[in-house]
């Protein structure tokens, strides 16, 4: 499924936020999930009787600052996560890259998105874009071309980058997560996988990076043409951003994964982070996320 090309405009996008992290020096690979792990729905947490209905196959809600679990449904069940993968891509890139670093778009980046049937930011080969702008291309229209360009550059090479993604997952305690690429598209060798709980842990950590938080909360972003690149315009696929207090973070979809959503919001002075996996109706994941965010303060004060 492809995004429609956004109308090109000539307004400049400012990059004022920077980050700096060290890159893990090791890489580990987790074992593939068993049939029982991908189909069973046990969770170490039982949701309150008064919690909103959650129709996705798995979900998890937590207090981002304290780490306290507020809701869980099959929270530890391993399953495909589609484009939620791109949150880790953004996080790993900013551990070694500056937002002002330039990345040249190669023909294989555009072909990768086209051939794989992934969503695309319609990046043009030969354009040289700052990493900060490519994060918008990665997170708003969920550009597989942007993911490929970033992984190819900062692996170096896609396999090297995926190894960094898996190493970073281990360092964050995401022991039920395994990435096979930088975008979440299915591969002939199989899909990557994670859990609602692991993705919530990642979401809370990624949103501590100011640039990721800023990008994830942007509904539309325009890039003015320069001598280095043409003009672009990207619209966020996250409908939750229309709700007061919503922060982001990432949408996803493949046939195997269903509709997914990593989300966050501020409620009663607290930051809440949640994940919904395996939803069968696209719009319902946003309604469910909003319901969970509204219900959580009641649960927390009970």
pLDDT at 45 over 60: no
What pLDDT score was predicted for residue 116?
81
- The CATH architecture of the domain made up of 42-301 is 3-Layer(aba) Sandwich (3.40)
Q: Is 98 a catalytic residue?
A: no
Which residue of the set 43, 83, 194, 260 is catalytic?
A: 83
The pTM score is 0.84
What pLDDT score was predicted for residue 50?
82
Report the chain's mean pLDDT, rounded to a whole number.
85
The tens digit of pLDDT for each residue in 170-195 reads 999 999 999 999 999 999 888 899 99
Q: Give the CA dihedral 151, 156, 159, 165, nearest 10 degrees.
A: -60
The tens digit of pLDDT for each residue in 229-267 reads 999 999 999 999 988 889 889 999 999 999 999 999 988
| Residues 96-120, mean pLDDT to the nearest whole number | 93
Q: Dig out the tokens for 280 from the structure.
A: 């069968």
What pLDDT score was predicted for residue 164?
98
Which residue of the set 43, 73, 86, 205 is catalytic?
A: 86
Between β-strands 220-223 and 102-104, what pairing exists: parallel, antiparallel or unpaired? unpaired
What pLDDT score was predicted for residue 297?
72
What pLDDT score was predicted for residue 155?
96
CA separation for the pair 62, 67 (Å, rounded): 6
Q: Is 142 a catalytic residue?
A: yes
Q: Is 5 a catalytic residue?
A: no
Q: Give the CA dihedral 239, 240, 241, 242, nearest 10 degrees.
A: 80
CA separation for the pair 10, 233 (Å, rounded): 9
Which residue of the set 66, 73, 98, 142 is catalytic?
A: 142
């Amino acid at each position: 499924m492809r995004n429609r090309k956004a109308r090109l405009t000539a307004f400049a996008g400012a990059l004022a936020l920077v980050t700096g992290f060290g890159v893990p020096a090791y890489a580990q690979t987790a074992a593939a999930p068993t049939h029982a792990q991908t189909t069973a729905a046990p969770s170490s947490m039982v949701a309150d009787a008064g919690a909103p209905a959650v129709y996705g196959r798995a979900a998890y809600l937590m207090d981002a600052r304290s780490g306290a679990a507020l809701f869980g449904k099959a929270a530890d069940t391993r399953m495909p996560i589609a484009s939620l993968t791109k949150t880790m891509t953004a996080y790993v890139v900013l551990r070694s890259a500056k937002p002002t670093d330039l990345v040249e778009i190669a023909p294989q980046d555009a072909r990768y998105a086209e051939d794989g049937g992934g969503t695309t930011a319609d990046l043009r080969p030969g354009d040289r874009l700052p990493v900060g702008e490519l994060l918008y291309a990665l997170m708003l229209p969920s550009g597989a071309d942007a993911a490929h360009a970033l992984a190819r550059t900062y692996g170096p090479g896609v396999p090297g980058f995926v190894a960094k993604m898996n190493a970073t997952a281990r360092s964050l305690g995401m022991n039920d997560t395994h990435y096979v690429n930088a975008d979440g598209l299915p591969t002939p060798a199989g899909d990557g996988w994670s859990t609602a709980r692991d993705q919530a842990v990642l979401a809370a950590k990624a949103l501590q990076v100011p640039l990721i938080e800023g990008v994830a909360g942007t509904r539309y972003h325009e890039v003015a043409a320069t001598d280095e690149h043409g003009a672009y315009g990207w619209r966020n696929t996250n409908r939750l951003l229309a709700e007061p207090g919503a922060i982001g973070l990432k949408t996803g979809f493949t046939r195997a994964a269903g509709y997914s959503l990593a989300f966050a919001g501020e409620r009663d002075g607290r930051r809440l982070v949640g994940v919904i996996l395996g939803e069968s109706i696209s719009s319902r994941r946003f309604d469910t996320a909003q319901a969970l965010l509204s219900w959580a303060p009641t649960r927390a004060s009970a």
